[in-house]
Amino acid sequence: MDAKSRDLIITNLLAISAGLVLSGFALIFLGVDPIAVFGNALKTIFTDKYTLGDVFLKATPLIFTALAFAFTFKANLFNIGAQGQFYMGAIVAIAVSLKLDGLIPTGLLLAVVCLLTFIAGGLVGGLIGFLKARFNANEFLVSMMSTYVVLALMNYLLRTFLKESKGEYPQTDALTRAAWIPTLVGGTRLHMGFVLAVLAAVGVWVLLYKTPLGYRIRAVGSNAQAAEMSGINSKRIYITAFFISGALAGLAGFTEVNGVQHMLIQGFNTGIGSAGLGIAILANANPIGIIFASILFGALNVIGNLMGRMPGINIPSSIIELMQGCVMIFVIISYYARSYMDNRREKSKLKKVEES
């Protein structure tokens, strides 16, 4: 393995460890022994099937939102609205599922809902892309604000049209088993949605690196001017890229509603948008790397939850964000460390050639 790949793996491992160690220090403030707690959590993950399954369960929506950000990132666009596109997908997922629950066979229902959430998320994304293409609107700001708007819409619907029959809380009725995504591994909560996420990642990779459309998206992302001079319509690429990006985030709505929650409530999965962004960064926007980074973040999520449930000590769930943030900062620093080491290596190679 060449020096560069070796650097990559070592620095990433170091960065992740450094991030965890730093957040471990935070635990000391609560009078908790971080090593014991981490060790305990890791043990549970690797021995308890249910917990291990949860790691992949948590990773699933993250894969989608990370893919969403990474996809537009390749076109040098910033889709900060994955969270909102996810919400839109979730709204469509629950609304359609409730309507069709019990009326059509599960397989067909799931296929229809999957397709409709894809389109719903895609339309929100596509709209942002259109505003960028047509008005040269700053997509960073528009997409970021769109999340808050969709959130408001979702809260409104939960209070009114989608509200449960009991009428007590701002949440929907529950779906019957006929609308659930089938479980992947018995004895866990892990559902086929994870397979869908992995397939989506592979699909995005093939699309970006093996097809002419993906080539054009990357060309526009690297140098939009050269692409335009070569006959590529960058505006159409913007809309296409944003549509696909939004659609991917919308699929997270499908997997979370039909696979995990089986209903729609307020304040669920509020962080998958920004976590997805962070994951895309860690993986350097590489779809396959995103799968692994999402599993890592899923594990952090589960570890945080386990810590919160350990008897006697009260570790708040915000430890999860703390761990994620620390890891991300260290990984960003590791990018710098790698380029620094690379430069040093090249310079010394040069000096060696001179001396000989």
Partner 1 sequence: MSVPFFELQGISKYFARVIANKDISFSIRRGEVLALLGENGAGKSTIMKILYGLYKADEGRILMDGKEQKITSPKDAMKLGVSMIQQHFSLVPAHTVTENIILGNVRGKIDYKKCEEEVEQLAKMYGFDIPVRAKVGELDIGVQQKAEILKALYLKANLLIMDEPTAVLTPQESDKLMEFIKNFTAQGNSVVFITHKLKEVMEVADRVIVMRNGRVCGDLKAEDTNDIELSRLMIGKDLVQPERNFDSAKERTVCLSVKNVTVQHKKESPLINNISFDIYQGEVFGIAGVSGNGQEELCQVICGALEAGSGTICLKGKDITKDSIKDRIAHGIGYVPVNRHRDGMISNMTLAENMMLKTSYDRQWLKGGLINENKLAGYAKQAIDDYQIKAPGPDAEVKGLSGGNQQKVILAREVDIGKELLILNQPTRGLDLGAINHIHTIILRERMKGKAILLVSTELSEIFRLCDRIAVMYKGSFMGIYKSEELNTERIGLLMAGYSYDKEAAN
Partner 2 sequence: MIINLLNRALLMSTPLLFGALAEVVAERSGMMVTAIEGIFLVGAWGGFVGSYLTGSTTVGILMAMCSGLVVACIYGGITIFMKQHQVVTGTALNILAAGFCTYFQRVIFGVPTSPLKITPLANLPIPFLSGIPVIGPVIFNQNILTYIVYLLIPAVYFMLYRTSIGLTIRSTGENPEAVDVAGISVNKIRFMTVLLAGIMGGLAGSFYSVGYLGMFTSNIIGGRGWIAFAICFLGNWNPRGAVIGTLVFGFAEAISIYMQTIGGGEYFPNEFFIALPYILTIVLTVSRKNFNVPAKLGIPYSKEN
**Binding footprint of partner 2 on the chain (CB under 8 A):** 26, 29-30, 78, 131, 135-138, 140-142, 144-146, 148-149, 151-153, 155-156, 159-160, 271, 274-275, 277-278, 281, 314, 316, 318-326, 328-329, 332-333, 335-336
Q: How far apart are CB 209 and partner 1 at their closest, in Å?
A: 9
Residue numbers at the binding site for partner 1 (CB under 8 A): 206, 210-212, 215-216, 218-219, 222-223, 225-232, 342-343, 346-347, 350-351, 354
Q: Which residue, 56 or 330, is less far from partner 2 as judged by CB?
A: 330
Partner from partner 2, partner 1, none contacting 10, C-beta within 5 to 8 A by type: none
Partner from partner 2, partner 1, none contacting 335, C-beta within 5 to 8 A by type: partner 2
Q: Which residue, 231 or 312, is less far from partner 1 as judged by CB?
A: 231
Partner from partner 1, partner 2, none contacting 219, C-beta within 5 to 8 A by type: partner 1
Q: Which residue, 33 or 342, is less far from partner 1 as judged by CB?
A: 342
Q: How far apart are CB 230 and partner 1 at their closest, in Å?
A: 4
Q: Which residue, 116 or 124, is less far from partner 2 as judged by CB?
A: 124
Q: Which residue, 314 or 343, is less far from partner 1 as judged by CB?
A: 343
Q: How far apart are CB 281 and partner 1 at their closest, in Å?
A: 18
| Cα torsion 113, 55, 20, 10: sign | negative
Q: Which residue, 163 or 218, is less far from partner 1 as judged by CB?
A: 218
Partner from partner 1, partner 2, none contacting 17, C-beta within 5 to 8 A by type: none
Q: How far apart are CB 356 and partner 1 at their closest, in Å?
A: 13
